[in-house]
Amino acid sequence: MKYRAEDRTRLIPHTIDGITEMVPEDYTVHVPVPPHDWDRIILTAATAATAAILTASVVWSTSSVGALLGRSVESAIAYGAASVFDLVWIVCMAVEWLNRYNPRGAVLPRRAGHIALVIAMAAVCTNGWLTGGVAPGIIGAAVSALAKGTWTIVMKHTAKPLDPLTQGWVDRQMSEAGGRLALGSVRRQVARADGQYAAQIAALTPDGPDTDNGQPDTVSGTVRAAVRAALTTMPGAAPDEIVRQLAHAGIHTDEDTVRRLSGQQDSTSGKVLRLTATAGPSIADTIRTQVSAGVSDPVAVLAQVRTVHGSDVRADTVLRTLRRISRTA
């Protein structure tokens, strides 16, 4: 067994005048050298040679077919189209390689690659026959066949066949993975469609209920819920007391809003005596009531929800909740 020397560094204690410090020390170790992996070396060389052969085949085929097509079209167009002939079967072989553990999926690219190869060989052979005779045409066409054959041999060596049980296990795993990918794509499409639908509903729905003075109700849901909670926990409190209490919690409102939400519009009264209703229902409860009453139109449901809970209720939230409740109703 062969060894190679490696220089390494380690920390060792070193004492001077009674003071010990950890200082670095260089040292050399001999480690065994693994033998050459000739299988890997040969496979790498074969793969590199295959890539070179494919490149030469594409150049040769493009040059030959381009000269043939150049008889009737511009040279730039002719050689651009000529490059397609070999690239098609090369792409087909690449897809076949990607399906090496999916035999059924590899059938189509394999057959398409064979057809594309025959067409490319026929084009090269035709050019050779027109310029130098049958023999140069056949020999020139064999270049593409040799390139594809070399790649097929290397690919068959690398892609090991699976036994039926293992193949079945792989198929199940790939099917489940494909299902998860498809589900993710479908969910993105549904979310995008829901967003567009919610935007349309919001555009068709009134901004919100009007107050007694004819002005739109612009009170946010947070303020509305906070005022109702304060009125429930502080019965008989004055509006200014509720405003101050909410301000401590970072929620800013005014006395008129407190009176309006409590149902007491008389600003001369010093106290808010009661709520017009007990703690209101949730959005889901309101939607459930509408569904029970036979109302299923999203626009109508959204309008009612905003009447009860405020104009800031999101349309997409109502849409999702309505769909969920409708499924279970």
pLDDT band at 205 (very low <50, low <70, confident <90, very high): low
- Joined together, the tokens standing for residue 58 give 């594409």
The arithmetic mean of pLDDT across residues 125-136, rounded, is: 85
Distance CA 134, CA 89 (A): 24
At 234-264, the pLDDT tens digits run 666 778 777 877 777 677 788 777 777 765 5
127: nearest Cα among 137, 138, 112: 137
The confidence score (pLDDT) of residue 196 equals 75
pLDDT band at 42 (very low <50, low <70, confident <90, very high): very high
The confidence score (pLDDT) of residue 93 equals 92
The confidence score (pLDDT) of residue 220 equals 60
The confidence score (pLDDT) of residue 47 equals 92
DSSP 172-206: HHHHHHHHHHHHHHHHHHHHHHHHHHHHHHHHHS-
- Joined together, the tokens standing for residue 77 give 């167009």
The confidence score (pLDDT) of residue 275 equals 42
CB atoms within 10 A of CB 223: 20
Cα–Cα distances in angstroms (integers) from residue 252 to residues 224, 227, 242, 255, 271, in the given order: 11, 10, 10, 10, 19
First and final CA of the chain: distance in angstroms?
Answer: 78
Cα–Cα distances in angstroms (integers) from residue 170 to residues 28, 103, 106, 161, in the given order: 48, 11, 15, 12
Domain ranges of the chain: 38-158, 211-219+230-279
What is the rounded average pLDDT for all residues in the chain?
81
At 142-187, the pLDDT tens digits run 999 999 999 999 988 888 888 889 989 988 998 999 898 898 888 8
- Calculate what percentage of the chain has a pLDDT beyond 70: 83
* pTM (whole model) above 0.85: no
Distance CA 299, CA 278 (A): 27
DSSP 11-62: EEEEEETTEEEEEEEEEEEEEEPPPP-HHHHHHHHHHHHHHHHHHHHHHHHH
The confidence score (pLDDT) of residue 278 equals 44
Higher pLDDT, 301 or 230: 301
The arithmetic mean of pLDDT across residues 207-219, rounded, is: 47
Please check the confidence at residue 52 and state whether its pLDDT lies above 90: yes
